[in-house]
Amino acid sequence: MRSYFLKSFGCQMNGADSEFIVGLLVARGFLQAKNAQNADVVIVNTCSVREKAENRAVAQIQEYAAIKKKDALLWVIGCMAQRVGEELRQKIPKINRIIGATEIEFIEEKIDEYLLPLGNFDILTHNIQSQWSALLPIMRGCDNFCTYCIVPFVRGREHSISLTVLCEQAQKIVDNGASEIVLLGQNVNSYRDKSMDFADLLAKIAQTRGLKRLRFMTSHPKDICEKMVKIISETSNICRHIHLPIQSGSSEILEKMNRKYTREQYLEKIAMIREIIPDCDITTDAMVGFPDETQKQFEETLSLFEQVRFSYAFMFAYSQRTGTAAAKEQNQVPQKERMSRLAKLVELQNNIVKEIYSTIVGRELEAFFTLEQNKKNAHSWAGQDFGAKRILVDTDENLGGKIAKVKIIKSSGMTLVGELI
């Protein structure tokens, strides 16, 4: 029996691409190998958003090239493969196949050809099973061209997948065992299929037979609308969570980033969401140290975080990406200052989360459990409530894929700790 080993870096879209390729391999009888040394196909799904992610991927590819079996295939896929694929192949000659991010959408048509060195494989549909929580891309590419972002250059222009196809895929995912679906797109709010927009798609997918929870990401502040927020509030299985990247609290920096909204417009969207869904968890992305960012402009980001009080935030220091407009700017903020600003923002956000979580102790919540954790003296399951809060429960019971009521007994800071009711 042939086997595969896959290492994935980067965003949830990469995660979805990885799941898609694994599904194609499993359908052809491949089993998951415990390590790269024993696999017949070794796959590294790469990320180009930050230089650190690329460096980690290169080191991993070099390691796998050195330890893989003589006849095993080594595939490098994703955004970095799209950006510098041939350079990688020259640097690491044992790479057998470069598959760029724009090719992954069509890999189903090519995978049998790519696997030919290992033989011919029949498709065994009974092998296909969904994860408890499954990722479903609704669109590919991006047309926003934020000045710091490499994504439009490696994933191509924006295009939506048809509503009919997505509804069929969603039903198949649930029929194969998933309880939750996460809809993915670089900007889900710009989804279009003829006269249907993302709000219409959300309402339609929510009707999938047997679907218990529906999530989505990422929304763009310039496009998020009241129609979509109202559909969330009126639909029982759409989670009360909106991920809305701010990137900077300064309108001047937002303009330089080509984000197409101001600080004030962003805060208006926050107010609209909280008026319609008072208990909605709002999470965000934020970048510090963008070229030309002054101390005052950084402090505007701090003040916005204090005002909005996000349930969670992905925070990072600006990283120059060759090929983007921002990389050409002369006034780059020194790395030491970027990291200092990042530390201040992280500290502020962590304190906000601790304050929010302290108010939840004693309450009862429903959590969907998907991650098993084994430690020396404890066995636990991690899950998520109907918003974006992480919940940990110590139990010997198998909670995998289940929704269970828990009472929150304490907060460890960034995680709520509960007990089964």
Q: What is the pLDDT of residues 220-242, one digit of tens each?
A: 999 999 999 999 999 999 999 99
Positive or negative, the CA dihedral 55, 60, 66, 71 is negative
N- to C-terminal Cα separation, the chain: 44
Which segments of the chain have a pLDDT < 50? none
Residue 81: both structure tokens together: 């493969």
Position 287 scores a pLDDT of 97
Is there a common fold for 3-126 and 364-420?
no
- Cα maximum dimension of the chain: 62
List own/partner pairs for 250-256 with CB under 8 A and 24 or more apart.
Answer: 250/293, 250/297, 250/298, 250/300, 250/301, 252/297, 253/290, 253/292, 253/293, 253/297, 256/147, 256/290, 256/291, 256/292, 256/326
Position 272 scores a pLDDT of 98
Other beta carbons within 10 Å of 60:
17
Q: What is the pLDDT of residues 242-297, one digit of tens each?
A: 999 999 999 999 999 999 999 999 999 999 999 999 999 999 999 999 999 999 99
Helix (H) or strand (E) holding 243: strand 241-243
Geometric angle at alpha carbon 149, from 146 and 151, rounded to 5°? 110
CATH architecture of the domain formed by 364-420:
Beta Barrel (2.40)
CATH 3.40.190.10 for domain 3-126, yes or no, is no
Position 126 scores a pLDDT of 52
Other beta carbons within 10 Å of 261:
19
The domain locations on the chain are 3-126, 364-420
Tally the C-alpha atoms within 13 A of residue 233's C-alpha that lie toward its C-beta.
15
